[in-house]
Amino acid sequence: MRVVVLLLLILSSTLSRANENAEQIFADMAPALYQIRIIDKATGEKSGIGSGFQIGENGYIATNYHVISGYAQHPEKYIIEFEDHEGKTGQLNLQTVDVINDLAIVLHEDNPQPLHFIVSEQTPQKGEQLYSLGNPHDLGMIVVPGTYNGLKKEAFNDRIHFTGSVNPGMSGGPVVNAAGDVVGVNVATSGNQIGFLIPHGKLAQLINQFDVQVEKTISEQITEQLEANQSKLITSILATPWESKSFAKASIPQTGVDFIRCWGNSNADRPDDLLFQAITQCQMEESVYISDSFSTGKVSMEFHYFEGDDISTWRFYQNYKASITQAAADNQAGKEDVTEFECQHDITSNSNNKLTNKSIMCVRAYKKYKGLYDIMFLAASVDQTNQALVSHFTLAGVNQTLAQSFTKRFMEASQWN
Amino acid sequence: MELIIEEISRANKLIGRHKYQGDSLQIGRGYQNDLILSDPHVCAEHLQLRFDNEEQQWYVKDLQTLNGSVNGSGKPMVQEQKLNSGDVIRVGKSLLKFLSPTHPVAHSVKFSRMEHFVEFSGQWWVILGLIAAYTLISAFFNYISIDVREISYSKLFMDSLLESLVIPIWALIFAFIAFINKHEARLRSQIGVTFIIVSLFWVADFFEALFGFNTSDAISVEWLIFAMAVVLTFILLWFNFYIALHQKPARRFKFAAGLTALVYGGVLLISAGDEPEFNPYPEYNAQIMTPGFLLSSGETSEAYVNRSDELFTKAKEAANKKRDD
């Protein structure tokens, strides 16, 4: 009994200490916290909200790129506004962005107050108590305690796994440790107390490069970042030879990188289906957000195996053909972002003659971010009478050289056993 | 003297042909006339014809009628005038053509191969054979497209039969055109010929599939296939008109070509109108056939990817062009 009381006492004391800490930090730092609003010029109404925090005496404020992306894409349509803890509002100027890590720095030019957050130099310990600050759903600034759970597994771009509620509107708000130093920036949620943060290192990087970056236009900055990101991404996928993985009566490639995850399914449980079909889908579960209608920086592959031993070859092919006519890009993009697809097709054989395909390759170019392309490739086997293999990939936002290297590697990677 | 009078409709159709013996002839609505017309715009005594034995010449005179008569040169007849063989005179709404027995006629037309083909296609056993063949081919294609295990064969057969029975509707339209033009309808020939030519579209489809499957985008046969469809449509319409109407070759050509242009012009216009302003989906050739039809040995991956340089260039140019706009 006594033990229980003691435990309760200890528990309540840690809890109250945590709350005290949170209250203290919040009270101290409130002037350096802002709600960031994107205002539609035509109507004068909010078209998006997020949070931001001051990172320098001179009025520099950090937030998420996705909070201010409307302005970054259409500066003629919107303005960026802040509201501080006293309810005062003012206009902000976009300075620099990092679309890969979803960060942006805006400037409060007009007589800013000097209080600002310090970016931590240390990475938190697993299990460490952190406090997420922000303005969820436009309800007012709040503080949410949670725990640091290390970096998200199998991610290409690092994200902190934070156990605590990060809600819409808190995006761009700081996450601080007990000392009040910034260790991350709110960015996303998976619901149910799972939140994701941008590690403080990414913010430090953006601050360090600020002087160079600020000289360039936003479009130039984004182009460079996408170019560098795709180069790192595709190079890492092509860095090691791909291993071969058995897939029904064929072999398909296994890239060996952990950020591309595969899922499988088949219709073996539906014997009434005319063709037996097995699917393996491998894709990155993250992409680079540019605007609501445009995302990029994604790699995905898909393999379909078809078999129909008990039907005529004619019938098999007629049904199999229907499954290869609808391939499309994996990323969203609109008319202002990309051109229409240009396609080529031919019968191809891989070098050991173990697979003959009808190969289709389609390419579309980015309009603002020059030198980057989306690729859609599909190869449908045409050399077996009653079995078929479809190998398909899409790349979003890659340059020509890497896209072609990837395609060559991919075309040689599938074959019949 | 003998005189032949042809009653002609305003659409240039022969209504009746009469032959007269004598030196004078009266035409009108009254029952005392030699040629009695029923047109209400014609007077009881309308035209007076007489043969001058000295001059060996027919003369014609309008009998001061209410609506008058119009001679061959399109002018109202005011006084007696010469009537030559082949002259057409309008009385009321009727046209009368006057011919002498020695008036020359066109050469006789030999039964052409075309005519033999048309006659052949119109036989019952040929038509039944064509319907059966067409139904079976449709049934085969419908059968291989079915994606479920349980097949209702009676439904499959009925659907295919109905599909093939759509074709006689086309033939029926032309038979009807012939009918309203007071020609022989020749429905069976229309049906037979239409079946044969429509079947040729299948041959075109087959070649389209075969080429689309085996060739790369570097060799585009799309225009050839399109041209083939246009030519087949033209041939079909040419035969339809040939069977339905007795037209001069040049006129028939104009009719068939005009209608073909109308059909494909419409098709192109509709497809151009349907094209979205921006298509986010790739449009590619996904034609595949069974391995038996694979004639191409296949490009190497290396060559295929190197060839894609052109795609990137094209996409880049499109991106630059849009930025300049």
Instruction: Tell me, yes or no, if B284 comes closer than 8 A to chain A by beta carbon.
Output: yes
pLDDT range class, residue B175, cuts 50, 70, 90: very high
Are A53 and A158 in a shared domain?
Answer: yes
Are A310 and A230 in a shared domain?
Answer: yes
Contacts 24+ apart (CB under 8 A), B157-163: B160/B135, B160/B136, B161/B131, B161/B135, B163/B135, B163/B138
Chain B residue with minimum CA distance to A413 = B301
Q: Which among B148, B308, B319 has CB closest to A366?
A: B319
Residues spanned by the domain of A254: 224-416
Are A169 and A243 in a shared domain?
Answer: no
Are A279 and A134 in a shared domain?
Answer: no
Whose tokens are 């060739």? That residue is: B215
User: Tens of pLDDT along A329-388?
Assistant: 989 999 899 999 999 999 999 888 789 999 999 999 999 999 999 999 999 999 999 999
Question: How large is the ipTM?
Answer: 0.87
Q: Are A388 and A357 in contact (CB under 8 A)?
A: no
- Of A215, A240, A273, the residue that ends a domain is A215
CA-based nearest distance A344→chain B, Å: 6
A70: domain CATH number? 2.40.10.120
pLDDT of B322 reads 58
- Domain count along chain A: 2
Are A311 and A370 in a shared domain?
Answer: yes
Taken in order B63, B69, B74, B75, the sign of the CA dihedral is positive
**What distance in Å separates the CA atoms of residue A178 and residue A161, rounded to the nearest whole number?**
18
Structure tokens, A81? 């506004």
Q: Are A296 and A226 in contact (CB under 8 A)?
A: yes
pLDDT range class, residue A19, cuts 50, 70, 90: low
Mean pLDDT on A113-138: 88
Are A167 and A255 in a shared domain?
Answer: no
Instruction: Tell me, yes or no, if B137 comes closer than 8 A to chain A by beta carbon.
Output: no
pLDDT of A10 reads 46
Are A207 and A239 in a shared domain?
Answer: no
Q: Are B87 and B96 in contact (CB under 8 A)?
A: no
Q: Which among B144, B147, B297 has CB closest to A314?
A: B144
Instruction: Tell me, yes or no, if B151 comes closer than 8 A to chain A by beta carbon.
Output: no
Are A183 and A246 in a shared domain?
Answer: no
**What distance in Å separates the CA atoms of residue B170 and residue B302, rounded to the nearest whole number?**
51
Mean pLDDT on A131-160: 86
Instruction: Tell me, yes or no, if B297 comes closer than 8 A to chain A by beta carbon.
Output: yes
CA distances for A345 relative to A44, A262, B285, angstroms: 50, 27, 7
Are A173 and A277 in a shared domain?
Answer: no
Instruction: Tell me, yes or no, if B288 comes closer than 8 A to chain A by beta carbon.
Output: yes
**What distance in Å separates the CA atoms of residue B143 and residue B146, rounded to the nearest whole number?**
6
**What distance in Å separates the CA atoms of residue A319 and residue A95, rounded to the nearest whole number?**
55
Mean pLDDT on A182-201: 86
User: Tens of pLDDT along B195-248?
Assistant: 999 999 988 889 889 988 998 888 777 888 889 999 999 999 999 999 998 888
Report the relative pairing of strands B88-91 and B69-70 from DSSP bridges: antiparallel
pLDDT at B185 over 90: no
- Of A158, A181, A215, the residue that ends a domain is A215
How many Cα neighbours within 13 Å face the side chain of A269?
A: 2
Domain ranges of chain B: 2-99, 113-269
Considering chain B, what is the average pLDDT of its residues? 89
Q: Do A408 and B319 touch (CB under 8 A)?
A: no
**Cα-to-chain-centroid distance, residue B60:** 41
For chain A, give the percent of residues with pLDDT over 70: 95
Are A204 and A234 in a shared domain?
Answer: no
User: Nearest CA to B280 among A299, A291, A338?
Assistant: A338
**What distance in Å separates the CA atoms of residue B57 and residue B70, rounded to the nearest whole number?**
20
pLDDT at A14 over 70: no
List for chain A the helix, strand, coil content (%; round to 5): 25, 40, 35
**What distance in Å separates the CA atoms of residue A370 and residue A353, rounded to the nearest whole number?**
37
Are A104 and A173 in a shared domain?
Answer: yes
**Cα-to-chain-centroid distance, residue A36:** 22
Are A186 and A295 in a shared domain?
Answer: no
- Of A160, A183, A215, the residue that ends a domain is A215
User: Tens of pLDDT along B127-153?
Assistant: 999 999 999 999 999 999 888 888 888
Q: Is B2-99 in CATH node 1.10.150.120?
A: no
**Cα-to-chain-centroid distance, residue A286:** 4
pLDDT at A16 over 50: no
User: Tens of pLDDT along A229-270?
Assistant: 999 999 999 998 999 999 989 999 998 888 999 999 999 898
